[in-house]
């Protein structure tokens, strides 16, 4: 194993020399910039201060011989041959990310329950979208106005984007997704967008409050935390109407597997057999925490839920600057 250090951020990670340095950097929570992943665009170039790197192939359009002679390297292609010290500006805020419009193809669609489907989009031509956990994209179809959906999978060096789409009665676009959209359909996406993203440099314990398909960006956040081996305590509350609306068993699996993750499902209209929490999801948080001063809170879901959480959490000591939210607007606008 080789040690890689980014002199700019001070972050250090290990690489086996088999995978590209960029792949291992992203796996360890370093937001190194990248674009095509094919060695063509040059967006992942960095300067090697110490150490040696090599390439599986000889020629890449994204870097010139002169740049290589000056100590630069394409991180999406090069492999470490020794311990490496490099210089690269990491993308740690929304302002650093480039909003792009990219063609994509529906890879597959899976029904998760009676009114939620999981859509996987494959970005065309070997491109990929760099984003922060929690952000969203606009999905573009020529017959409809663009619709916004949170990205449900964790950031990584991948060209596959996962969305959770809930069917909305009277919603033309969601009706199209449920009944007409098929694998291999061609679409466009634009993103990443939004300032709802995981602040991973913080050391505070995290409370995640999701309502309905507000679980999708929360899934991205938790999967990113797991992938980067963050040890912060994570408390996940997911509020839905009834048991069938808990369309994923992942939260319970996370709680069972990781000591730092706990999960509380909350049903607002449970059936008679339900033995768990019921009522409003933000009230369940207040039942468990007398003082929210030292916590970082992320709330995602219907506006009424987000507003209620913001108001009552402040009354319980939450610092406003530690509250991050993304309100989904449904009805006929279907914003997410």
Token readout for 297 is 């809170």
Q: What is the pLDDT of residue 334?
A: 40
Phi, psi of 74 (to 5 degrees): -90, 110
Q: What is the pLDDT of residue 170?
A: 83
Q: What is the pLDDT of residue 94?
A: 66
As a whole number, mean pLDDT of residues 97-126 equals: 92
Band of residue 125 on the pLDDT scale cut at 50, 70, 90: confident
Task: Report DSSP letters for 234-294, one per residue.
Answer: EEEEEEESSGGG---SHHHHHHHH-TTEEEEEEESS--TT--SEES-HHHHHHHH-S--TT
Q: pTM of the predicted model, to two decimals?
A: 0.82
User: What are the sequence ranges of the domains in the chain?
Assistant: 2-87, 95-193, 206-327
As a whole number, mean pLDDT of residues 253-263 equals: 98
As a whole number, mean pLDDT of residues 159-171 equals: 92
Taking the CA atoms of 104, 153, 300 and 227 in sequence, report the sign of the dihedral they define: negative
**Residue 330: is its pLDDT beyond 50?**
no
Average pLDDT of the residues of the chain = 91
Which residue in the block uniquely carries the two structure tokens 């890689």? 4
**Residue 60: is its pLDDT beyond 80?**
no
**Residue 331: is its pLDDT beyond 60?**
no
Query: Per residue in 281-323, pLDDT tens?
Result: 999 999 999 999 999 999 999 999 999 999 999 999 999 999 9
Task: Report DSSP letters for 60-106, one per residue.
Answer: -TTS-HHHHHTTEEETTT-EESS-EEEE-----SGGGSPPEEEEEEE
Q: Give the single-character DSSP code of 151.
A: B
Structurally, at CATH architecture level, domain 206-327 sits in 3-Layer(aba) Sandwich (3.40)
List, in sequence order, the alpha helices (H) in 183-233. Answer: 215-227
Q: Which residues of 1-31 are buried (b: 16+ CB within 10 A; e: fewer)?
A: ebebbbeebebebebeeeebbbbbbbbbbbb
Band of residue 169 on the pLDDT scale cut at 50, 70, 90: confident
Q: Are 131 and 214 in contact (CB under 8 A)?
A: no
Find which of 2-6, 53-57, 63-67, 97-101 is predicted with most confidence, using mean pLDDT. Answer: 2-6
Fold of 95-193: Elongation Factor Tu (Ef-tu); domain 3 (2.40.30)
Domain 2-87 -> CATH class: alpha beta
Question: Which residues are within 8 A (CB) of 169 and not within 5 positions of it... i.e. 6 or more apart?
Answer: none
């Amino acid at each position: 194993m080789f040690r890689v250090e980014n002199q700019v951020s001070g972050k250090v990670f290990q690489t086996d020399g088999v995978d590209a340095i960029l792949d291992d950097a992203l796996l360890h929570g370093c937001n190194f910039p990248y674009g095509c992943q094919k060695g063509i665009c040059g967006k992942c170039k960095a300067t090697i201060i110490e150490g040696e790197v090599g390439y599986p192939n000889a020629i890449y359009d994204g870097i010139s011989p002169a740049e290589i002679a000056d100590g630069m390297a394409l991180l999406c292609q090069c492999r470490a041959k020794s311990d490496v010290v490099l210089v690269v500006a990491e993308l740690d805020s929304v302002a650093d990310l480039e909003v792009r419009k990219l063609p994509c193809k529906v890879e597959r669609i899976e029904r998760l329950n009676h009114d939620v489907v999981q859509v996987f989009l494959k970005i065309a031509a070997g491109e990929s979208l760099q984003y922060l956990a929690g952000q969203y994209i606009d999905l573009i179809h020529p017959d409809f106005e663009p619709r916004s959906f949170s990205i449900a999978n964790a950031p990584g060096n991948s060209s596959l984007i996962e969305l959770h789409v809930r069917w909305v009665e009277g919603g033309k676009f969601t009706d199209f997704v449920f009944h007409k959209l098929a694998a291999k359909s061609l679409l466009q996406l634009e993103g990443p967008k939004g300032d709802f993203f995981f602040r991973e440099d913080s050391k505070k314990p995290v409370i995640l409050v999701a309502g309905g398909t507000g679980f999708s960006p929360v899934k991205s956040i938790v999967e990113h935390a797991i992938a980067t081996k963050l040890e912060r305590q994570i408390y996940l509350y997911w509020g839905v109407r009834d048991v069938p609306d808990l369309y994923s068993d992942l939260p319970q699996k996370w709680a069972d597997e990781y000591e730092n993750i706990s999960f509380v499902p909350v049903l607002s209209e449970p059936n008679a057999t339900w033995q768990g929490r019921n009522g409003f999801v933000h009230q369940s948080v207040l039942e468990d925490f007398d003082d929210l001063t030292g916590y970082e809170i992320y709330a995602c879901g219907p506006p009424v839920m987000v507003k209620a959480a913001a108001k009552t959490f402040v009354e319980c000591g939450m610092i406003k600057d530690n509250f991050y939210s993304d309100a989904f607007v449904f009805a006929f606008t279907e914003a997410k």
